Amino acid sequence: MDKTRPIIIVKKKGSHGGHHGGAWKVAYADFVTAMMALFIVLWLLNTSKQIQEAVGGYFKDPTGTSKKVGTNMQGVGENFVLTRDNMPKLKDQLQQAIRQMTDFEKLKNHIEMTVTAEGLRIELSESATGTFFDSGSAKLNADGRELLVTLAQELSKLPNKISIEGHTDSNPYAASANYGNWELSADRANAARRVMQANGLRADQVMQVRGFADQRLRKPEAPLDPANRRISLIVQYIVKDPADEEVKSTTGDEPRKAETESATPAEKPAKKE
């Protein structure tokens, strides 16, 4: 009998050291969630204040303020109501819209916005060669039309009433002319109204269209200065009367009919230029 011991070969299969589990999936999900939160915060920082308030209000009171939906419009917003408290906000938003104009750098020194007792006054002043109108004419040039269209599209989102005024300097027309500064100031104000109403401003939004000729000079010490020739848009306040709970517009003048008018007294004829 062969006494030799048999040779036994044992083969072992390779192993990965056991099952790792799903811990990595949890870590990855946390990372993705954190990134999403970061992008949401960055988005909110670049949105308007109205959207930020709406989103914040939702988390504070989901059943109440969640219905106050914000808007991604860069303008003044559909539900924006102009009062004495938020007047600076409207001014900032209009300035942002105007900065997008093609020739803003050329026009910026001729556009001025001022918060007054009446509301927000937007002054569009002329230069010696004409900035928004052809010289001595009520015809708008391309820059004037573009600016008024921009303002109309923004202001049409407001419930507030608008007054439009025309002003000239004291430089008279020829003595034989049948057309003078009274006519020019009223015609320019009316031309601005027509363009704005054709581009968004509501018909019932215009409360007054007035021509003042040279009776309200911007620079009284320099009556011939071209800056006296200007169009003024007044966005009037809205205040709530606690007595009757009615919302009304306010203006520095007594209420008038919403019609085209000249500031010339009825008994005073048009100035002979």
Sequence-ordered list of residues with C-beta below 8 angstroms from that of 79, at least 6 positions apart, any chain: none
Q: What's the angle, vertex CA 94, arms to CA 184 and CA 153, rounded to 5?
A: 70
Residue found by looking up tokens 């919302």 in the block = 247
Asked: is 76-249 a CATH 3.30.1330.60 domain? The reply is: yes
Sequence-ordered list of residues with C-beta below 8 angstroms from that of 85, at least 6 positions apart, any chain: none
Global pTM?
A: 0.59
Q: Which sequence spans correspond to the domains of the chain? A: 21-72, 76-249
pLDDT tens, the chain, 273 aa long: 556 777 777 776 655 555 556 788 888 899 999 999 998 888 888 877 767 777 776 676 665 544 444 433 344 444 556 677 777 888 888 888 888 887 888 888 899 999 888 889 999 999 888 889 988 889 999 999 999 999 999 899 888 999 999 999 999 887 777 889 999 999 999 999 999 999 999 989 999 999 999 999 999 999 999 999 999 999 998 765 545 444 445 544 444 433 334 343 333 344 433
Which value, to the nearest 10 degrees, does the dihedral of the CA atoms of residues 145, 146, 148, 150 take? 160
Cα gap 66→40, rounded to integer Å: 18
Q: What is the pLDDT of residue 197?
A: 95
What residues pair up with 246 in beta bridges, in sequence order? 241
